[in-house]
């Protein structure tokens, strides 16, 4: 990923420093990362979409170069952080793309600040509390509270990628395991936000054109969770890709094609 055209931080009304960077010129596109990921996770998407968009990346509160206020956090708080960044950068209505927790943030962003958004891409995300995912978030919170940084990284690797991808991409496995663990306090606070996220009963209020992408082999956010979200939204189309939880990492070309086709409409 080439260097940004602009970067910096904003201070939200709640007093939280949020770090961001921008790439390219054109209609604004905001990429919102998932639990345990900072903005560098979107490197392939920056290369693709900065050719004809102004791509804005941010570190959610609790990770990267953003501040780590005391937790727990809520998805609503993180949606408001993103809204304030969009306002500070004076963005026209954006294409908002969010993965996993980032998709949850985009749902709340659309509900709380609908005029910020032109259209939505929600990938590997959910809108309802799920017994398996809730137990996993609780497990990750407990690991963070015990200081088990490396165990969190290893667990994220196993739950976020499909077995086939991990088998084929040994170099990715090695690089992922060598990645520094997310800050434990921020990770636990954000995992608590994920645990409390529920918008299914309000999804019909999201009237923006939307693309909901699921991974066929995603065990963290099962495809039926994404499918139910798409069915509840007013103007959503649903696409399933043969990957695990990280569609945009495992099959970036397929993800980019799906987004490009959606943007044409």
List, for residues 68-119, the tens digit of each pLDDT value.
Answer: 999 999 999 999 999 999 999 999 999 999 999 999 999 999 999 999 999 9
Band (pLDDT 50/70/90 cuts) for residue 176 is confident
Q: Does 1 score more than 70 pLDDT?
A: no
Region 22-29 average pLDDT? 98
Model-level pTM greater than 0.85? yes
pLDDT at 118: 98
The predicted pLDDT at position 132 comes to 94
In tens, the pLDDT along 44-65 reads 999 999 999 999 999 999 999 9
> Which domains can be identified in the chain, with CATH numbers?
6-264 (3.40.50.1820)
Number of neighbours of residue 87 by Cβ within 10 angstroms: 12
Buried b (16+ CB within 10 A) or exposed e, 173-204: eeebeeeebbbbebbbbbbbbbbebebbeebe
> With b meaning 16 or more CB within 10 Å and e meaning fewer, what string describes 63-77?
bbbbbbbebebbbbb
Other beta carbons within 10 angstroms of residue 25's beta carbon come to 13
In the numeric block, the tokens 């201070």 are attached to 11
Q: What is the pLDDT of residues 139-153, one digit of tens each?
A: 999 999 999 999 999
């Amino acid at each position: 990923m080439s260097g940004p055209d602009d970067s910096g931080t904003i201070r939200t009304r709640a007093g939280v420093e949020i770090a961001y960077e921008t790439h390219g010129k054109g209609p604004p596109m905001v990429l919102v990362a998932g639990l345990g990921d900072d903005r560098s996770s979107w490197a392939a998407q920056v290369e693709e979409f900065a050719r004809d968009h102004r791509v804005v990346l941010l570190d959610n509160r609790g990770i990267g170069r953003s501040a780590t206020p005391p937790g727990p956090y809520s998805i609503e708080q993180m949606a408001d952080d993103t809204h304030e960044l969009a306002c500070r950068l004076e963005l026209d209505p954006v294409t908002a793309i969010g993965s996993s927790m980032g998709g949850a943030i985009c749902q709340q962003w659309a509900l709380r600040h609908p005029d910020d958004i032109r259209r939505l891409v929600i990938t590997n995300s959910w809108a309802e509390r799920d017994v398996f995912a809730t137990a996993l978030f609780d497990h990750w919170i407990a690991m963070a509270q015990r200081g088990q940084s490396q165990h969190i990284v290893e667990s994220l690797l196993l739950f976020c990628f499909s077995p086939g991808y991990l088998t084929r991409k040994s170099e990715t496995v090695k690089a992922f395991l060598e990645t520094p663990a997310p800050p434990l306090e921020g990770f636990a606070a954000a995992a608590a936000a994920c645990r409390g996220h529920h918008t299914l009963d309000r999804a019909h209020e999201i009237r923006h054109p939307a693309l909901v992408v699921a991974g066929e082999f995603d065990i963290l956010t099962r495809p039926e969770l994404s499918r139910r979200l798409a069915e509840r939204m007013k103007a959503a189309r649903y696409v399933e890709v043969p990957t695990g939880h990280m569609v945009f990492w495992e099959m970036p070309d397929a993800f980019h094609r799906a987004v490009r086709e959606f943007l044409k409409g």
